[in-house]
Structure 1
């Protein structure tokens, strides 16, 4: 009896140790949590970016939180989202800044709190590799040049062109506009009749501004729009006024509406990005940094996600169809 009582504590201790060991084996490491803040969430471009990002996150076992402002001019809401995710102590932050100046301070706060940041789609003031890890984006100046070269070709190097800009503070579209102007004016035969008007963040805003420009558009030979909502608003305005297909039109990005315009001959060319690739590379750039799998070399400070020009003639080429899926 005494021996049995002496053995009982030892047996209990043994079972306790086994339970602790079993419990510790059941513990799993939580996956990294990455927050991704686009400029907006409604346009086709951002939906494709999210698709690419989620595919990459799922492939690497990472939790991705996707949340952006309701309108693509709400800088205050985007700043609030950055602060919200910093408070939540996410493992990494991916940001497409609405304003290249206004979002600089929030990103520097993230750095100070030890939260790595990858900028995607649109540049931010500061130095990649120092103020933030990397910029994952289209080479927007070169993409704008592609649009300018296409317009120059369509007009045979002569005529009047309207440039409808997006909105002040957007670094990506500003660079496209600059690239377009450099290329389309090469040789001096093309006059830019309008270059100081901004469409705003929505298709409705862009349509209204396009209607306000209708007198100038009737006198023009071509028009360039630097992103999806601006091109969509312009197309709707041209259709309303019976001018669609009567003026050379080079747009940027793709959507069902813009592709319909291309097929109908109302749009002559679209410069398209690779949004799914952009989303995927933004995520994998962050994952490589967090997991240290890129420790043998420094993170690339700029990752170019590529562009292509789509016309009615190459619309069904396999490489173009893949970009448009």
Structure 2
């Protein structure tokens, strides 16, 4: 629509217009002044969707209403640093300047609405991209339900895309960049790796596209590298898990107080924080000690393989010699639960206390039948809900809190609904 408006403006000026699409622009750097110089020499006007394509001196000429052969038009959203340019050829036009209102649109506001034939405003429906860490776990499906509830309340569209599981970091980066380039109005993302995603999110934010975080943090600063962050206080959640293990183990824990921790992937900041919180709080109980811990590959099956291998090291005389186990999220908890059930099937005596994290149908059944002592349960629906509301608020220029704590609850057999 923006490009069509520019073309109509050109035709009103009786310009002889041809459209030439440049297919290969990989060698054209978005901030290269030679792009504008070439346009001026060839008598062309350049339209791009990347604010960095306009060199500073070109901006000054547009601002001061000076004539110029090469004009660079800017759209509000800036999807990527290198963009296919639409070349509008004007045969040796000596002096031509598009109205500045067509060239520059405001940042931090909703895009200008289109007009009906009768002059009334046609409201543009915002589109918010939501990029979870994964799409297969029920945790993320719950988060999606919250995001869609907010979208329905606010009257916006949701584009939900993510990798299959949390370990597909490169896939998530590709999805993020593709969505940013698609013309969405804002992005909500749960970074699968706080460091690997940081430069990509930072670059998108610098181009004027609002990015909010949910569930997992980023190696960056709210208000600078991203807008804000809605999530669990993961360190405190890990402490709650440890406090429950301490309570379950009692003053004289069995099996010499040996504790096993099944960790998630190494790059996941959210689980790292809760694992650190667990270790710190457990350290206040001298009778308990983490004797082994290991990362998994992000899947339930991978977590089960890791848990089975580790548990096998502590089976002696037909008995599991561990006082307690902590698994730090849904796939690790489900994998560990399955590994413990496999031991019981083999006739191994398992009296080990087990505290997991997050909730699913499988884990809820484990609590109900007494095989899981407790689950620290997050609120992914609230994360998705408040995350989408934050993105829309940022687009509209409204104030947002840098961090929103969505809270946790402890689920046990006594507290189960």
2:309 matched to which residue of 1? Answer: 212
1:240 and 2:337 matched: no
Q: Offset of 1:247 from its aligned partner?
A: 1.0
- Cα pair 1:245 1:267 within 8 Å, conserved: no
Q: Offset of 1:216 from its aligned partner?
A: 3.8
1:33 matched to which residue of 2? Answer: 127
1:95 matched to which residue of 2? Answer: 189
Question: What is the rounded CA distance, in whole Å, between the counterparts of 1:74 and 1:24 in structure 2?
Answer: 50
Question: What is the rounded CA distance, in whole Å, between the counterparts of 2:124 and 2:390 in structure 1?
Answer: 20
Range that drifts further, 272-281 or 283-292: 283-292
Question: What is the rounded CA distance, in whole Å, between the counterparts of 2:119 and 2:377 in structure 1?
Answer: 49
TM-score scaled by length of structure 2 = 0.68
Residues 61 and 189 of structure 1, relative CA distance in 2, 3 Å threshold: same
Query: If each structure's helix is expressed as a fraction of its own residues, which one has the higher value?
Result: 1
Question: What is the rounded CA distance, in whole Å, between the counterparts of 2:274 and 2:414 in structure 1?
Answer: 24
| Runs of 4+ in structure 1 over 3 Å off | 24-27
Aligned residues between the structures: 291
Gaps of 5+ in 2: 1-114, 315-319
1:191 matched to which residue of 2? Answer: 289
Question: What is the rounded CA distance, in whole Å, between the counterparts of 1:180 and 1:244 in structure 2?
Answer: 26
Range that drifts further, 126-135 or 157-166: 157-166
Gaps of 5+ in 1: 1-20, 317-325
TM-score scaled by length of structure 1 = 0.86
Q: Offset of 1:27 from its aligned partner?
A: 5.1
1:170 matched to which residue of 2? Answer: 268
Larger-gyration structure (1/2): 2
1:18 matched to which residue of 2? Answer: none
Taking the TM superposition and a 5 Å limit, the aligned residue runs for 1:78-89 are 78-89=172-183
How well do the aligned residues superpose, as a CA RMSD in angstroms?
1.5
- Cα pair 1:162 1:222 within 8 Å, conserved: yes
- Cα pair 1:244 1:266 within 8 Å, conserved: no
Deviations 1:270-313 (A, max 9, x none): 00001111110001111111123x3xxx4211010010101101
1:301 and 2:399 matched: no
1:322 matched to which residue of 2? Answer: none
- Cα pair 1:248 1:268 within 8 Å, conserved: yes
Q: Which has the higher contact order (CA 8 A, sep 6+)?
A: 1
Question: What is the rounded CA distance, in whole Å, between the counterparts of 1:244 and 1:52 in structure 2?
Answer: 41
- Cα pair 1:75 1:98 within 8 Å, conserved: yes
